Amino acid sequence: MRWPERVTVREVGPRDGLQAEERVLSTDAKVRLIDALTEAGFRRIEVTSFVHPGAIPQLADAEAVMARIRRRPGVVYSALVPNLRGAERALACGVDEVTLFVSASETHNRHNVRRSIAESLAGFVPVAERVAAAGVRLTGYVVTAFGCPYEGDVPEERVERIVAAYRDLGAVAVYLGDTTGMANPAQVYRLCTRLRGRFPDLELGLHFHNTRGAALANVVAGLQAGVTVYDGAVGGLGGCPYAPGATGNVATEDLVHMLEEMGIATGVDLDRLLAAARLAQELIGRELPGFVLKAGKRSDLVRAVRAREAAGPQGG
């Protein structure tokens, strides 16, 4: 198997992770976490969401967070927006990328934003025009792209139509979201191969939740299909609104560790990322589900065992 030499890992914990946590972090805490992620070497960080504060109180301080983070040149700091008003707020804060979102499930989209898919896409037109006028990158999520808790399987043709709509809006990248952890590797490979064949000039990214433990297997399937952009949330922040108690986003440190062990460069400093994961765990006040956060790196284990062997037998 021939793997890509390098992939891009987008850190989405400050947005997708924190919005699903019960504890609402202070602005200071969010800024500390985002700055730690910047120091870890991420080139793309999804900072917040400019939704109505009443809808997601965890992210009600979006403007304050954007104003206070230490922005490193060359790093893309993005934000999710639901509509033109959200886009205006995001642009006023100087975001580098505006991300839209729509579900591949009619039922889920109506539950989530009270619109049909067609209505959501039509509403994106003025947003796309405003973002283009500002000279800012436009990207989009297709959520529930691999399955919906209301409708079950989602037709690949529908996902393809939505990706085409994003392309026509001027989006430079589209991220497929496995919102409730329903994807499997065969499905991921099939859909990604199809979309990369249809849209060879559009960046395709994958956003997996680890609800059923399949996230990293799905990443490998995406790699086999040629996808080189993946989302993660530090520590595995977040959850699943349809599976109380379930884990949420794939832990970024688990993702980076696996990729680097496979010989695939990410540009992320794993030790600094693990320090950020420990900070996230401290700030959120609960044990986070990331595996490498608990077990350490593969190389740490080897060093520890060798050191123990070198020390000789213990006891008398």
Report, as residue numbers or ranges, the catalytic residues: 240
What's the CA gap between 296 and 17, in Å, rounded? 22
What's the CA gap between 189 and 70, in Å, rounded? 38
The residue type of 283 is: L
Let me know: does 145 contact 159? Beta carbons within 8 Å.
Answer: yes
Let me know: does 37 contact 50? Beta carbons within 8 Å.
Answer: no
For the chain, the distance separating the N- and C-terminal CA atoms, rounded to the nearest angstrom, is: 51
Let me know: does 22 contact 246? Beta carbons within 8 Å.
Answer: no
* CB-facing half-sphere around the CA of 172: CA atoms within 13 A: 9
What's the CA gap between 37 and 43, in Å, rounded? 10
Instruction: Please enumerate, as own/partner, the contacts of 151-160 that have beta carbons within 8 Å and a separation of 24 or more.
Output: 151/105, 151/106, 151/107, 151/108, 154/104, 154/105, 156/190, 156/191, 156/194, 158/104, 158/117, 159/104, 159/191, 159/195, 160/194, 160/195, 160/198
Let me know: does 182 contact 214? Beta carbons within 8 Å.
Answer: no
CB atoms within 10 A of CB 58: 19
Using the 8-state DSSP alphabet, how is residue 18 labeled? Answer: G
Q: Is 219 helix (H, G, I), strand (E, B) or coil?
A: helix
What's the CA gap between 259 and 158, in Å, rounded? 31
